[in-house]
Amino acid sequence: MQLKPSAVLAAAVFFLSSLAAGAADNGDWRATLERVSPSIVSIQVDQTRAFDTEWNSSSQATGFVVDADAGLILTNRHVVTPGPVVAEAVFLNHEEVELTPVYRDPVHDFGFYRYDPARLRYIDPVTLPLAPEGAQVGREIRVVGNDAGEQISILAGTLARLDRGAPEYGRGQYNDFNTFYLQAASGTSGGSSGSPVIDIDGNVVALNAGANTQAASSFFLPLGRVTRALNLIREGRPVTRGTLLTTFVHVAYDELRRLGLSEEEEALYRAEFPGLKGMLVVREVLPGAPAEDRLAPGDILLTVNGQPVAEFDPLADILDEGVGETVNLSLRRGDEMLQVALPVTDLHRVTPDAFVQFGDAVVHDLSYQQARHLNVALGAGVYVANPGYVFSTAAIPRAAVVVEMDGEPTPDLETFVDVVSGLKDGDQVPVRWFGFDDPRTPRVRSLRMDRRWFPAQRCARDDSSGHWPCEALPEVGTAAPPEPASTRFPPESDRKLATLQRSLVLVNFDMPYPVSGVSDRNYHGTGLVMDAEQGLVVVDRNTVPEAMGDAVLTFAGSVEIPAEVAYIHPLHNLSVLRYDPALIGDTPVRSASIAPAPAMPGDRVWVVGLRGDHRLVSQSTEVASVDALTFPLSRTLRFRESNLESIQLVNGPSDFDGVLADEKGRVLGMWSSFAFDAGRTTEQSNEGMPGYLVAEVAELARGDRELRSLESELSELPLASARRLGLSEEWVRRLEAHDPERRQALQVTRLVAGSPAASLLKPGDVLLSVNDNVVSRFREVEVAAQVPVARVVVWREGEALSLEVPTVQLDGSGVDRVVQWAGALLQAPHRPMAAQRGIEPSGVFVAYYAFGSPASRYGLFAGQRVVEVDGVPTPDLDAFLAEISGRPDRSAVRLKTVAWNGQEDVITLKLDNRYWPAYELVRGSRGWRRTPIPSPVPGEGESLPPFPAAAR
């Protein structure tokens, strides 16, 4: 149902009519379509939370008015959705009204929305009558609605079958069952969901629900159960739904004979139901159901309460009217006749209507839908609809079923909430679970509770309002720091390895939010202890990409302790973590020793690191070269290494990272993982980071020195190429004398936007000297730039120019503040934007947007900058917050955005404070803190005037 509304329905009517100019009924169809069109709507659907079989998403579909006075719209169940939803209907004339979900069927693919008819001013829709009896083989029909997202279309077809089985959409997906479907060759596609299937008189004979694009077949839901539900809703009565927790299928007579049906029984049922070609047979019984030991696959259903039954609707009538009662079934099992009495279970009671959200995860009761797919009993555990941050960090996937948490069984949501409510932020607890790939084998993972990054709350559906109001889980504080623990490193016969392993630590880093262009959220790599007394660990930026996250260090594969981000190198692929040395007791950790001389081509080196299983690994090799490292620009605007000569190895390892060491166990550099964009994917490459940068970043983290930058990206330029640019013989000789081995100069490739260099230097300048020192290597420029103002000589347009270029002092704090608003994650523009794309550091940067939120609905996508709100400039986060704070729910906001290439756009966005409240995360001296931003939410049930609400 990935569609968008269109204003071309009238044109489509005319187009269809013109195509059928030669048909005798052309005029009748045209009149019918013109009459029904004002009652058919495009529905914009925002599923705000993952729930049951559905992910949170923004999409479009179709619906139609079935009660114009009450404002009732019929559509599919998967359009009303089983979970929290925000929806709007767009009529033919583009009038837009908000929708409130009234009913979604627990099993069949239909549901109802309601709108306020008084909100419509320029269009007068009529009630489209439901006529289930009009569904007949050979009847010509039209499917009117959205199709493929491009237009509201009208598709012609002829009903071919009335007894097709329900379409199968795959294990774990929503699947209808215990009903016939109608089939026609009308070729509908996504977005046609919820379209009416009408006859020439304008009666709705079926509801479009699915399609097989390979066969150009469309599947329609018959209207028997729909009509009953609509009548009950109109009367304000509960829509009761009963079940035996058993799936039946319709089986043809030839197979029924093989299953044991006698000739007499076949003759009786053929006479009783002359239009049918078979009978109902038990396909599966849910484990734990009352019928589990009473019914079996292959049982032929003969009668229910003494009434012969051979199709689904009569069986459903009996069960829906008999919830809580007992029904008597007669069945044939081979040669045996069975009489079985079974209780009728309330379908609504086995359909989840509440969830708990914590650590960005969504968990609720296991539904009948998913219990069928897993073939497990209801109450087997709670279902992970969205693993979020806490479960994905623990390697527990979506669709996992949690059976035990912190040693407590969790058969249902209430017991699960009791356990979660008692967990403090940072508590580590075991979780026992099973998944779709192996539901018979539970697994155990360790989960770290989160209350810091995301709110923790329980939400339940309120059928009177159509909303899912939430209550915050009680605040229980933060877990105490771990008790100090000591360990010893495994014995190692190789002396240098024994020395090095005392300085190596496994780093695990988890990011709760994608920030600064970084999309992945879970990382691990090898860290190097550079200061054992202060607890400083150096690691690459592909393991710790940003300052926002949770870090855990593991020493000797035994002692695990938390750490915090101390420094993010703004120029190079290095980060520093800080831990409390007291937490590792007397574990013999030592500070690494940096080799006094840099690695040179031909040197024998050893790559030593830790695998994910904590094992120490090493490989002997030699230095192949020390070359300039060049990566493509990042399409996501993430950090990208530049101005670096990296150490290249002969067949260096690609399956682990770590350090480069000499034969004495001294560190020559880090064997680091670099992330870079290659087309539309992110790739990784292991390269050698020189030891002098490793030592430098430790000094920066300690605060021993400051870091200044000329804010210029440079590239190597052969002297022959420099000559072609007109470089004078004098400067060629000086460069040759400066570095006889490297016949090269440095050329300015790009400049950091907003820096002094951006207004003084130009791309293409050949950099000759800094502070009177000839330069031809990146490191020489970096060292020379550690002054407030650098005297720079460049070759430009045939002459040497001397410039006074102020340098920029950089800090290593990384991102330290983000705002969650309308489902978008906002931050200050980060340095890679200015460094790679020349983007001025103004406005607020959209780092991420959540599916099913206003940001995804209205196009506030990642990579944009918001520079105005309702015409007021927003140069920074403070200005943005001043404009958006206190805005009421569902109010419209006009945003001016700028793309990475400078293209401006204006979008409008309608707020959703109920499901996407605003909050701010700020890093302070005591770590990160989450604070709500005022965002008023109206009282429940205020969106529509009173209406008799149907229970569930």
| Residues noted as catalytic | 78, 109, 192
Task: Report residue 372: phi and psi, to 5°.
Answer: -65, -45
- How do beta strands 575-578 and 536-539 pair? antiparallel
Q: Are 164 and 187 in contact (CB under 8 A)?
A: no
Q: Are 522 and 688 in contact (CB under 8 A)?
A: no
Rounded to whole angstroms, the Cα distance separating 836 from 930 reads 31
The residue assigned the tokens 């906002």 is 826
The first and second tokens of residue 227, run together, are 């009509």
671 Cβ contact list (under 8 Å, min separation 6): 607, 609, 649, 652, 653, 657, 658, 659, 660, 686, 687, 688, 689
At 623 the three-state DSSP class reads strand
Side chain identity at 719, as an amino acid letter? L
Task: Report residue 520: phi and psi, to 5°.
Answer: -70, 155
Rounded to whole angstroms, the Cα distance separating 308 from 117 reads 44
Q: In 3D, which of 268, 51, 40, 231 has the Cα closest to residue 143?
A: 40
Rounded to whole angstroms, the Cα distance separating 195 from 147 reads 9
The first and second tokens of residue 456, run together, are 């923790």
Q: Are 30 and 13 in contact (CB under 8 A)?
A: yes
- How do beta strands 744-751 and 824-827 pair? unpaired
Rounded to whole angstroms, the Cα distance separating 917 from 470 reads 12
438 Cβ contact list (under 8 Å, min separation 6): none
At 584 the three-state DSSP class reads helix
- Strand ranges, E, within 175-222: 180-184, 196-198, 204-212, 217-221
Task: Report residue 92: phi and psi, to 5°.
Answer: -55, -35
- Cα angle vertex 614, ends 611, 618, to 5°? 50
Q: In 3D, which of 90, 99, 116, 80 has the Cα closest to residue 7?
A: 90
Rounded to whole angstroms, the Cα distance separating 864 from 845 reads 6
At 726 the three-state DSSP class reads coil
Give me Rg for the CA atoms of the chain: 34
274 Cβ contact list (under 8 Å, min separation 6): none
H or E element in which residue 249 lies: strand 246-252
Task: Report residue 54: phi and psi, to 5°.
Answer: -110, 145
Rounded to whole angstroms, the Cα distance separating 658 from 665 reads 13
883 Cβ contact list (under 8 Å, min separation 6): 869, 870, 872, 874
The first and second tokens of residue 469, run together, are 């109001």
Side chain identity at 838, as an amino acid letter? G
Q: In 3D, which of 524, 448, 520, 453 has the Cα closest to residue 479?
A: 448
Q: In 3D, which of 746, 740, 797, 853 has the Cα closest to residue 50?
A: 853
Q: In 3D, which of 534, 574, 532, 576 has the Cα closest to residue 555?
A: 532
Residue 110 CA, distance from chain mean position:
26
269 Cβ contact list (under 8 Å, min separation 6): 276, 279, 308, 310
H or E element in which residue 733 lies: helix 729-738
Side chain identity at 394, as an amino acid letter? A
H or E element in which residue 12 lies: helix 9-19
